[in-house]
Every structure is written in C-alpha cells, then in structure tokens.
Amino acid sequence: MKTWLITGASSGLGLQMTRVLLERGDCVVATGRRTEPFADLQQAHGDRLMVARFDITDTAAMRSAVEDAFAAFGRIDVVVSNAGYGLFGAAEEVSDAQIERQLATNLTGSIQLVRAVLPHLRAQGGGRILQVSSEGGQVAYPNFSLYHASKWGIEGFLEAVAQEVLPLGIEVLIAEPGPTATGFAAGLDHGTVMDAYDATPAGDVRRGVADGSFAIKGDAERTVAAMIAYADEAAPRRRLALGSAAFQNIERSLLARMEDLHAGRHVAYSADRD
C-alpha cells in the first residue's frame, strides 16, 4: 500500500486517479478548490482519503496542507503535481491578469508545491514527484502560447531539480499526455478574440476547438492507468508521453529541433574562444 498526494484532484485526471488508487487499497491526500466531488469517496474509503481544500496559487494554504498531510500519514510515497488549466488565445489577445493567473497556477504553483514537499521527502529518505505536464511541454500550438510557457517552464525547472535531489533518494517523473477527453477544453480561460488573427493559424486552432475537429484521441481512464503504472515502476524513465498524438507530435518536434541544431553546428562552434 502506498500513500499519494494529488493536487487538482477534484476533476479530470486527478479525480480519476484518486478513485483508482483508493479502489486498489492505497491512501490518498486529495486536494482541490472544491471538496464536493470527494463526498462519495470519503464515505466509501474513510480514513484512507484525506481531503484538503486550497487554491494552488495560495502558497501559504498549500504549505499548511502539505504539513498536515505528512503529519497525518507519516510518509507520502508519490506527490502528483496535477493542478492546472489552459489559457486559450493568441498572445496579443490575452490580458495581463490572465497571464498572471496562468503562470501562477501552472508554473509558480507547481514550483511551490515541489519546494513544500522536498523537506518532507528528504526527511523520510526519499519518494517520487510525478508532474502531470502535457505534450505541450515539448511542442507548441497557436493560441496556447501562455499554456506552453507554463508547461515548458515547469519541465525545465524539474530537469534541474531532478539532478539536485536524486542523490537524496528523490525521483522526478514527468507525464506528458496528449489531448485527452477530460473536460480540459470546457475549462479553458479565453482571451478576447481579435479579427486580425482570424485568417492565421491561431484562428484555425480556435475554429478546430469550437467545432470539434481538433482531434482528442486520449482516453482518461487509460491515461490514468498508465500514469499510475509509471509511478509504480522500479526504475522509471524521466519522461513518459501518453497517447499516440503525444508520441507522434513530440517525436516530430524533437526531430525538427535536432535538424535545426545540426544545421547550425558550424556557427555554434565558431563562437568558441581560440
């Protein structure tokens, strides 16, 4: 039996993961801005489920909940950083306040969660942090620029943290699901549409999301099952793409970046000192 802490657990992948883990006999600290979705689970699983209500952007409340969680269970094996949402709009269309909230939630909130749990993971001699990122941490679509900024940012942060904490017995894992049927699109925060972008790729993506032609191949239950299996592995890789779309899009992006890198090799080497 393991104990998990999951942020953003009141909906989507987080709620599905909470259900599956409780059903298999594990303990879960489920956090979210709402507690109503946990009522039936609390009744069914009793003390194996601890619920904490806070917004991930409230660092003080999050730290307090983390303290309570480790105090209640003594040990937490896997911390799942899952809280987040998407900001939808061309860079010029979104407001300053929307940008601040997007980064505060997806990037700063995730950073502060990691910082809050590290002292406890060190004290217990190890553990795992599973960041639920996205294929959007490796690729980019028009109309999602700020979402991508948050996901590329958290992946870069965790690449460094992983090196810092591995000698302490703490492992960092990054899950990168592709578009998945979770209600993510319904929860998008939208910028103010500008006619100037209608005939651009941003407009094409906007129409694709609106009319359903933007393909969503990922299955939520299978994605959650794969993430749990990933966190259970004896020696997991750093990253795991989830869904055929994520695999193909990330592969295509990485190959294109490698081509760009190699094409500029002579210029890169020319910048060295003699």
Which residues carry out catalysis?
133, 147, 151
Looking up tokens 């591995």, which residue turns up? 166
Q: Which residues face 79 on adjacent strands?
A: 5, 129
Q: Show the tokens assigned to 215.
A: 């393909």
Measured at the CA of 42, the angle between CA 37 and CA 45, to 5 degrees, comes to 135
Q: Which amino acid is at 186?
A: A
- How large is the greatest C-alpha to C-alpha distance in the chain, in angstroms? 70
CA 64/CA 23 separation, integer angstroms: 27
Q: Show the tokens assigned to 24.
A: 């298999």
CA 85/CA 185 separation, integer angstroms: 9
Contact 80, 177 (CB under 8 A): no
Q: Show the tokens assigned to 196.
A: 């100037």
Nearest residue to 67 via CA among 120, 105, 28: 120
Three-state DSSP class for residue 178: coil
Strand stretches in 72-187, DSSP E? 78-81, 87-88, 127-132, 170-177
CA 227/CA 176 separation, integer angstroms: 9
| 218 φ/ψ angles, rounded to the nearest 5 degrees | -70, 140
